[in-house]
């Protein structure tokens, strides 16, 4: 049998997926495959195109590589277009002159952006938004532009608007219709989306018919609308829909639709049975599918057909969920309610900015479609009900309400095995359950095996839920053990240490653990012990378990040197103290930097210099700042009512009181506080673990916020508190966190995983529902009473000081720490500089 010659024209997402399907379904090596890609880049993720503006990395979006194709035995011609197709001779001719005979041909030529033929549409300021080179063009144009206009307020237009916003342009969206996303949303939904996007600073102009784009003398262009209005801008991006790229099919006289698109049957065959068309160039039952999931299904169908397997493309669901400019938008099925007899349930929550609509059939039993704007948490659940034609609950209106449930609802197990979990890759619940039964032990493994959640990722919550439920059903225990040395969770260990009054790591290991311990359990237990008893962390029983920073009471840097951060409560510092910090930095040649927590960081100290540095600092009245500990760091404050003309509370005084109360308290992770003297919030308290804001009646308490890697806005726990109540609530909340959080879990993630959320936290902290309030307060008071400045204790203990020497057998200092000068201060020498310096000194 001769080898089948297979030619694939187009290497977009769908063209690539077709090849992937051939690999997945059988033996790709039985075909001699040639792939033509008109773009010089191989397939990349166009759905995530806006990410390119942020990362600038084409690689991050890449789906295919030459090496991968080579390993599949595929010949790749990149940057080569096909110019003619002769279906009689079964031959294609490429732009580089190549002529190739085929047995089977797959057209995956995609689509192109439609540009309305208004005068000036082809000017230098005008762009489209489709490929990475398009984005490069927009980026260059934006570099000396102030404003940009997107023509087209559909899904892609709003994506393009996001890109312009990211480029820092004053962004406008111009839409012909009376609302945004007319394909997916109804009047109310489109109106709400528009107002939300306006709130973000994007100007939305609806019912605007662009009639001309006129270049201006001083640069830029003027958009002239049919209603006589004008809009000047520097950059124009057209996003007025897509058109199938069917020129090659037309030239070859394949059947095409009246308004374009290569006509295909249920096997995705064109009017020539050995020529297939897939993706956005294909027309199935008079429809073009402009989403990736239907294209993937077509790709799968063709791969099956070529392999002699069964399979048909029978249309696809166009439901979609997106985050557009930060606004959640979802549309399911017949969102407009066009089905005869359809009825709707609607909830328009102007207060929270949510619009939810369900479209149900005449009988009210089945869901026909839905629209979600502002909050799309219910999307997965509604989509499952829709796709699986599940009966609606007795009160469908309950589905209009928002959910807090992250896991995507408790419905997953009731789904039939045929229920689709991932529509991008057409993975059913049955596929997921089988993968778990076949040995996959977690979501990552199931993803690897089934490809679920590797497309748009929208099904991740549903997938996670099904995987977890399947594991539980199999009786697989999901281990929460701290590590191989302790078969307990952190909370269990905390309780054991408290109840049995265990005072050292070795005691806990002997009674409840095994082995030598490790870098997980040692610091975790050192932290628990400190949170319970607040002993000196470098005591003989504790020193060997402290992580790098706690072990030397300083922050280790990349070259092995340390940084020193003395405590400056609330950021209030005297001129004399500032002079001392400067003097110490000069004496020891330390690099100085102001921290985000209103303190001074002194960097570049050798381990052996730390005791001498602290000797000077302590003599001047400084205390350790615990910048090295998983413990209370700083309480940031504004100057408050003492100085500020807007201030309503003495934020500095309160911040000092709070910092002095909680300093030295060790916890599962670091803790940052702030106090603002008025609602202007200059101390940024709402991004802190504990944030306090003055009101004219007292203090508002915000909790469990975070900045950094995963920002989280803090939640308002209680309002208008007096200082004593405030302290009581903070005491209880912190001890409850210390008791129940996982190791290295910040308050923000702890809060998000807390069953019952904010209401529950209020019940525990304010209402004392668990009746542990007094105990928590007393435990916190014990920690406060046991406070010591660890550096002061260290300097009083000659044995502890000895441990800071560079070498156990020599008074020499560590010559590997080498500094050079930069901007009038020191910094660590690079590897090359160090070699030069060492060789110069020889």
Partner 1 sequence: MSVQQWVQVCDQQQLLANAGVTALIGEQQVAVFYVPANDQVFAVDNLDPVTGAQVMARGLIGSQGEQMYVASPLLKQRYCLHTGQGLDDDAQRLNNWPVRLNDGMVEVALEAASA
**Binding footprint of partner 1 on the chain (CB under 8 A):** 484-485, 515-520, 522-523, 543-545, 547-548, 551-552, 556, 558-560, 803, 806-810, 812, 814, 816, 831
Spell out the alpha helix ranges (H) of 325-394.
Answer: 379-387
CB of 510 to partner 1, least distance (A): 11
Pair of tokens at residue 530: 């400190």
DSSP for 48-113, written as a single string? GHHHHHHH--HHHHB---HHHHHHTTEEEEET--EEEEETTTTEEEETTS-EEE-SEEEE---EEE
734 and 722 Cβ atoms separated by less than 8 Å: no
CB of 809 to partner 1, least distance (A): 5
| Minimum CB distance to partner 1 smaller for 124 or for 516 | 516
Task: Identify the helix (H) or strand (E) that includes residue 20.
Answer: helix 13-25
Rg of the chain taking only CA atoms, in angstroms: 32
CB of 831 to partner 1, least distance (A): 6
Pair of tokens at residue 102: 């085929």
**How many other CB atoms are there within 10 angstroms of residue 347's CB atom?**
14
CB of 535 to partner 1, least distance (A): 17
| Pairing of β 275-277 and β 104-107 | parallel
Q: Where are the beta strands (DSSP E) in 588-644?
A: 591-594, 600-605, 632-637
| Minimum CB distance to partner 1 smaller for 417 or for 838 | 838
| Minimum CB distance to partner 1 smaller for 293 or for 613 | 613
CB of 806 to partner 1, least distance (A): 7
- What's the 3-state SS for 159-225? HHHHHHHHCCCEEEEECCCCCCCCCCCCHHHHHHHHHHHHHCCCEEECCCCEEEEEECCCCCEEEEE
3-state secondary structure of 805: coil
| Minimum CB distance to partner 1 smaller for 512 or for 739 | 512
| Minimum CB distance to partner 1 smaller for 444 or for 812 | 812
| Minimum CB distance to partner 1 smaller for 590 or for 638 | 590
| Minimum CB distance to partner 1 smaller for 107 or for 603 | 603
523 and 517 Cβ atoms separated by less than 8 Å: no
CB of 554 to partner 1, least distance (A): 11
460 and 468 Cβ atoms separated by less than 8 Å: no
3-state secondary structure of 320: strand
CB of 837 to partner 1, least distance (A): 14
Task: Identify the helix (H) or strand (E) that includes residue 802.
Answer: helix 798-802
Phi-psi sector, 620: left (phi>0), alpha (psi -120 to 50), beta = alpha
Angle between helices 651-662 and 723-740 (to 10 degrees): 40
Length of the chain: 842
| Minimum CB distance to partner 1 smaller for 142 or for 526 | 526
381 and 390 Cβ atoms separated by less than 8 Å: no
Pair of tokens at residue 123: 């000017």
Comparing C-alpha atoms, which of 678, 773, 757, 682 is closest to residue 725?
773
3-state secondary structure of 430: helix
Q: How far apart are alpha carbons 766 and 761 in whole angstroms? A: 8
Task: Identify the helix (H) or strand (E) that includes residue 39.
Answer: none
Q: In this structure, what are the phi and psi dihedrals at residue 4, rounded to the nearest 5 degrees? A: -75, 130
**How many other CB atoms are there within 10 angstroms of residue 811's CB atom?**
8
| Minimum CB distance to partner 1 smaller for 587 or for 836 | 836
| Minimum CB distance to partner 1 smaller for 132 or for 487 | 487
| Minimum CB distance to partner 1 smaller for 541 or for 684 | 541
| Minimum CB distance to partner 1 smaller for 1 or for 516 | 516
CB of 522 to partner 1, least distance (A): 6
- Enter the DSSP assignment of 376: -
CA 20 to chain centre: 27
CB of 538 to partner 1, least distance (A): 11
| Minimum CB distance to partner 1 smaller for 535 or for 752 | 535
Q: How far apart are alpha carbons 385 and 337 in whole angstroms? A: 17
| Minimum CB distance to partner 1 smaller for 365 or for 484 | 484
| Pairing of β 819-822 and β 825-828 | antiparallel
CB of 537 to partner 1, least distance (A): 13
CB of 559 to partner 1, least distance (A): 5
CB of 605 to partner 1, least distance (A): 14
CB of 556 to partner 1, least distance (A): 6
CB of 67 to partner 1, least distance (A): 21
């Amino acid at each position: 049998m001769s080898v089948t010659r297979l030619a694939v024209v187009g290497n977009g997402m769908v063209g690539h997926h077709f090849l992937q399907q051939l690999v997945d379904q059988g033996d790709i090596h039985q075909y001699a495959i040639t792939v033509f890609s008109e773009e010089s880049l191989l397939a990349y993720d166009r759905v995530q195109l806006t990410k390119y503006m942020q990362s600038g990395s084409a690689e991050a979006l890449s789906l295919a590589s030459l090496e991968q194709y080579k390993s599949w035995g595929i010949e790749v011609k990149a940057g080569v277009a096909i110019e003619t197709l002769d279906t009689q001779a079964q031959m294609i001719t490429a732009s580089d002159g190549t002529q190739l005979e085929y047995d089977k041909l797959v057209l995956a030529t995609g689509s192109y952006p439609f540009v309305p033929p208004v005068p000036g549409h082809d000017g230098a300021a005008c762009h489209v938004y489709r490929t990475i080179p398009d984005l490069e063009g927009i980026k260059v144009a934006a570099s000396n532009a102030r404003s940009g206009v997107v023509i087209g307020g559909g899904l892609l237009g709003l994506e393009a608007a996001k890109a312009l916003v990211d480029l820092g342009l004053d962004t406008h969206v111009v839409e012909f219709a009376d609302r945004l996303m007319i394909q997916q949303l109804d009047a109310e939904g489109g109106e709400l989306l528009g107002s939300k996007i306006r709130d973000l600073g994007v100007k939305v102009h609806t019912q605007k018919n662009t009639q001309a784009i006129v270049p201006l003398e001083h640069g830029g262009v003027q958009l002239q609308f049919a209603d006589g209005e004008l809009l000047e801008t520097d950059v124009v991006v057209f996003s007025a829909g897509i058109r199938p790229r069917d020129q090659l099919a037309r030239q070859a006289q394949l059947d095409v639709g009246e308004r374009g698109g290569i006509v295909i049957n249920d096997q995705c065959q064109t009017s020539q049975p050995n020529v297939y068309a897939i993706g956005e160039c294909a027309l199935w039952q008079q429809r073009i599918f402009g989403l990736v999931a239907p294209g993937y299904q077509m790709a799968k169908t063709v791969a099956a057909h070529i392999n002699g397997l069964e399979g048909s493309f029978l249309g696809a669901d166009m439901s979609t969920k997106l985050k557009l400019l930060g606004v959640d938008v979802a549309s399911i099925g017949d969102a407009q309610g066009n089905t005869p007899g359809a009825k709707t349930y609607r909830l328009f929550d102007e207060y929270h900015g949510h619009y939810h609509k369900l479209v149900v059939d005449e009988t009210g039993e089945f869901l026909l479609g839905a629209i979600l704007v502002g909050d799309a948490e219910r999307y997965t659940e509604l989509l499952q009900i829709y796709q699986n034609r599940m009966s609606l609950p007795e009160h469908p209106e309950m589905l209009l309400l928002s959910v807090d449930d992250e896991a995507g609802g408790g419905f997953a197990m009731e789904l039939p095995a045929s229920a689709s979990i991932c529509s991008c890759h057409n993975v059913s619940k049955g596929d997921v359950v089988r993968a778990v039964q076949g040995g996959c032990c977690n979501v990552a493994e199931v993803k690897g095996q089934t490809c679920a959640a590797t497309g748009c990722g929208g099904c991740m919550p549903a997938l996670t839920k099904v995987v977890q439920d399947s594991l539980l059903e199999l009786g697989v225990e999901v281990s929460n053990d701290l590590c191989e040395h302790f078969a307990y969770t952190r909370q269990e260990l905390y309780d054991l240490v408290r109840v049995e009054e265990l005072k050292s790591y070795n005691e806990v290991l002997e009674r409840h653990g095994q082995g030598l311990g490790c870098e997980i359990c040692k610091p975790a237990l050192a932290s628990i012990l400190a949170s319970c008893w607040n002993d000196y962390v470098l005591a003989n029983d504790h020193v060997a378990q402290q992580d790098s920073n706690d072990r030397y009471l300083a922050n280790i840097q990349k070259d092995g040197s340390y940084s020193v951060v003395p405590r400056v409560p609330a950021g209030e510092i005297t001129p004399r103290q500032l002079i001392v910090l400067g003097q110490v930095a000069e004496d020891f040649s330390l690099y100085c930097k102001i921290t985000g927590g209103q303190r001074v960081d002194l960097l570049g100290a050798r381990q052996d210099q730390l005791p001498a540095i602290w000797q000077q600092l302590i003599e001047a009245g400084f205390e350790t700042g615990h910048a090295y500990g998983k413990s209370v760091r700083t309480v940031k404050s504004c100057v408050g009512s003492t100085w500020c003309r807007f201030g309503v509370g003495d934020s500095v005084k309160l911040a000092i009181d709070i910092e002095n109360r909680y300093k030295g308290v060790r916890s599962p992770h670091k803790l940052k506080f702030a106090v603002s003297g008025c609602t202007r919030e200059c101390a940024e308290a709402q991004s802190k673990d504990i944030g306090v804001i003055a009101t004219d009646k007292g203090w508002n308490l915000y909790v469990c916020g975070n900045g950094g890697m995963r920002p989280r806005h803090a939640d308002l726990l209680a309002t208008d508190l007096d200082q004593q109540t405030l302290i009581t609530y903070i005491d209880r909340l912190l001890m409850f966190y210390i008791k129940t959080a996982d190791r290295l879990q910040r308050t923000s993630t702890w809060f998000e995983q807390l069953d019952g959320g904010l209401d529950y936290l209020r019940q525990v902290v304010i209402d004392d529902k668990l009746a542990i309030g007094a105990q928590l307060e007393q435990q916190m008071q014990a920690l406060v009473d046991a406070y010591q400045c660890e550096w002061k204790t260290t300097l009083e203990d000659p044995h502890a000081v000895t441990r800071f020497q560079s070498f156990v057998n020599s008074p020499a200092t560590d010559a590997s720490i080498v500094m050079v000068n930069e901007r009038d201060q020191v910094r660590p020498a690079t590897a090359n500089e160090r070699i030069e310096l060492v060789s110069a000194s020889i």
